Chains A and B, each alone.
Chain A
Amino acid sequence: QQQVKQSPQSLIVQKGGISIINCAYENTAFDYFPWYQQFPGKGPALLIAIRPDVSEKKEGRFTISFNKSAKQFSLHIMDSQPGDSATYFCAAGDSGGYQKVTFGTGTKLQVIP
């Protein structure tokens, strides 16, 4: 499987702050970049996704920024809340592979009051 690098491994943010998680990929065939949120004991749930035809996508407090030339993308969580405390995975996929994605290593986010 092609590698997707994710950083940081863990992140502590104050309530109301901005959480930023970064990912980089290698395979230029990737054309689908989702972010997943996973709570303990649960399967990953799709949070937001982007395709390379746009440089930014925003849904509520969550924004993906995408830099095609650098092969990097990031998740920004604005006004972070304690309920956002979870593990976040970036992923990358090739639509020709029926949405099969390769996952990053995960970032454990803790939002403290």
Chain B
Amino acid sequence: SAVISQKPSRDICQRGTSLTIQCQVDSQVTMMFWYRQQPGQSLTLIATANQGSEATYESGFVIDKFPISRPNLTFSTLTVSNMSPEDSSIYLCSVGFADTQYFGPGTRLTVL
């Protein structure tokens, strides 16, 4: 299995600021995924991050708003830029490992 940790676990931010979320995995993985889960809703894929290349974004998500870094095979960051209250969500990091997808505990973001 893969164990995933995320920092911070939660944060309250002001409109117009940016927050960087860190994701650390205990195993080397090729692909990492970032999801958003709005309150009481399902998970929506934001982007797929492959080490050494640009992240691939899903429809409705853009790099300027959600820049992603993937400096090595165990770490990734997601930045939520120029935040608005609509960005209040849980952000989850995920990896595909040994034919299974594992999720981190999530970062609960509240934007005031």
CB atoms of B101 and A99 under 8 A apart: yes
Give the docked Cα–Cα distance between A13 and B59 (Å).
Answer: 37
CB atoms of A103 and B103 under 8 A apart: no
CB atoms of B45 and A1 under 8 A apart: yes
Our count of residue pairs bridging A and B at CB distance below 8 angstroms stands at: 56
CB atoms of A49 and B100 under 8 A apart: yes
Q: A104 with B100: in contact, given A42-B106, A43-B106 (CB under 8 Å)?
A: no
Give the docked Cα–Cα distance between A102 and B33 (Å).
Answer: 12
- Number of residues in B with C-beta < 8 Å to the partner? 24
Q: Which of B31, B42, B97, B106 contacts A100 (CB 8 A)?
A: B31
Give the docked Cα–Cα distance between A9 and B92 (Å).
Answer: 22
Give the docked Cα–Cα distance between A41 and B104 (Å).
Answer: 11
CB atoms of A101 and B106 under 8 A apart: no
Shortest CB-to-CB span from B88 to chain A, Å, is 15
CB atoms of A100 and B105 under 8 A apart: no
CB atoms of A100 and B103 under 8 A apart: no
Q: Which of A1, A100, A104, A106 contacts B101 (CB 8 A)?
A: A100
